[in-house]
Amino acid sequence: MTDSNNGDLTAAVSHARAVASAQLEQAFRQLPISLLAGLANGLLLTYIFWDVMERSTLRIWLTVLVCVTAARYAVLVSYRRASNGSNGEQRWRLLSVLGGCAAGIVWGAAGFFLFHPVSLPYQTLLAFVLGGMVAGGIPLLSFLGAAYPCFMIPIVLPISYRMFAVGDAVHTVMGLMILVFGVAMLAAATQLSRFFRAMVDLRLQLSSSRETSQALERMLRIDALTGIANRRLFDEMLDREWRRAKRDGSVLSVITADIDRFKAYNDQYGHPAGDDCLRAVAQAMSGVLHRPGDVAARIGGEEFAILLPDTPIEGAARVAELIRQSVLELGLAHAATVTGVVTVSLGLASTAQFGTATSTDLMHASDKALYQAKRQGRNRQAIAGGED
């Protein structure tokens, strides 16, 4: 029960980290456009207010804006160099939040210090620019928890205060509209954050489901004991390679192999030792194969098969001899054999031989050759069509 709970907790933590990582990556992906737009708006605002506001105030404000923008860009560059923040994720998140807060304070300062004392058009223009910055911060900062409120609130409150401070009905209404707009944007940011999280959750679930499906598919095609292909995968590969050989006019060869006197081995040494023997023989067989298309499979209790595309019977015979030698060199003690160690017998057949009109015929020919090798004394190979 404890192991199950620990497993669930580990999975939950891993999932939460994956979601947080996706949120952080999304925020940094949006950052370049945001920085460029913010700097452009700052320059335009400075240009428009140049002749109507105190220039020293404009210079100071623009300088601070440029510095904050440069600092946030430096964080972005560092994040990208660090392989998208694969290390120190909390640090990158904190820096991103602090950057958003700093930007909000700078733009909030614009709402306070660049508020024209008497011109309603300039006041409205300033409110419009700040509203655009508030709305533009949603796709950048809504994924990082408190980042968006830290950005939005310092912008909305100063300009609302300056509107209320004027005192007439028009400015009071404008101040209220700005506050309502800020609340609406905060709600929109919250909804976007939830939507993005749900989308990431769905993507992670689909990915997990796909990985599980692939793992199950591999399990269905891999022999659990030996780790090589099972009968199902062998039959699929045989059917595919058979059709390809017929289409291309190439030669397909098959080797069937059987561990000699394996029942006696199990009886004398026990089934755990028998399982170890099967694993060792399987690895010895697969170790002989080096081409991508060659397949070694366990197709029965102690029976194996090797598929050799584009291989004439002479080449298959060489592979069979390498397998026989490889198993012999394992040196696994087996008192019931003539050699005193585990050996295999092998039967070979190819599509170039007569009587193999189907893939089933090819396997039957190989099996017949295998039994021929056993009748001849075991620890040897026999080719289909040879003498009994």
Q: What is the pLDDT of residues 355-386, one digit of tens each?
A: 778 899 999 999 999 999 999 999 999 998 76
CA angle 26–27–31, rounded 5-degree value = 120
Answer yes or no: is pLDDT of 242 > 80: yes
Laid out side by side, the sheet with 303-308 consists of: 295-298, 303-308, 253-259, 344-350, 381-383
- Average pLDDT over all residues of the chain: 86
Check whether 269 has a pLDDT greater than 80: yes
pLDDT class of 93 with cuts at 50, 70, 90: confident
Using pLDDT thresholds of 50, 70 and 90, give the confidence band for residue 296: very high
Token match 């220039």: residue?
55
Out of 74-88, 231-245, 350-364, which region has the weakest mean confidence (pLDDT)? 74-88
Give the pLDDT score at 13: 45
Question: What CA–CA distance (Å, rounded) separates 206 from 201?
Answer: 9
Residue 319 reports pLDDT greater than 90 = yes
Q: Are 342 and 334 in contact (CB under 8 A)?
A: yes
Q: Bigger pLDDT: 246 or 204?
A: 246
CB atoms within 10 A of CB 331: 12
Can you give the pLDDT at residue 208? Answer: 59
Identify which of 268, 228, 229, 264 has the alpha carbon closest to the alpha carbon of residue 343: 264
Residue with tokens 């045989």: 238
Mean pLDDT of 143-150: 81
Averaged over 242-255, what is the pLDDT? 92
pLDDT value for 214: 53
Report pLDDT for 32: 87
Q: Which of 224, 216, 221 is nearest to 235 (CA)?
A: 221
Sorted by where each begins, the domain ranges of the chain are 2-212, 231-383
> In the structure, what pLDDT confidence band is assigned to residue 345 with cuts at 50, 70 and 90?
very high
- Binned at pLDDT 50, 70 and 90, residue 26 comes out as confident
Kindly state the average pLDDT of the residues 254-259: 95
Q: What does the block give as tokens for 172? A: 């009071």
| Whether the Cβ atoms of residue 81 and residue 16 lie closer than 8 Å to each other | no
Say yes or no to pLDDT of 3 above 70: no
Q: Of the given ranges (118-122, 180-184, 213-217), which has the lowest mean pLDDT?
A: 213-217
Residue in the block written with tokens 């993005």: 196
Check whether domain 231-383 has CATH 3.30.70.270, yes or no: yes
pLDDT digits (tens, 9 = 90+) for 165-199: 998 999 999 999 999 999 999 888 888 777 777 77
Residue 381: C-alpha distances to residues 39, 46, 284, 285, 349 (Å): 80, 90, 16, 14, 11
The DSSP 8-state label assigned to residue 87 in this structure reads S
- Please calculate the CA angle 199-202-207 and round it to the nearest 5 degrees: 125
pLDDT, greater one: 122 or 201 = 122
Give 115's pLDDT tier (boundaries 50, 70, 90): very high
Indicate whether 99 pLDDT > 70. Answer: yes
Tell me which H or E stretch contains 383. Answer: strand 381-383
pLDDT (0 to 100) of residue 55: 92
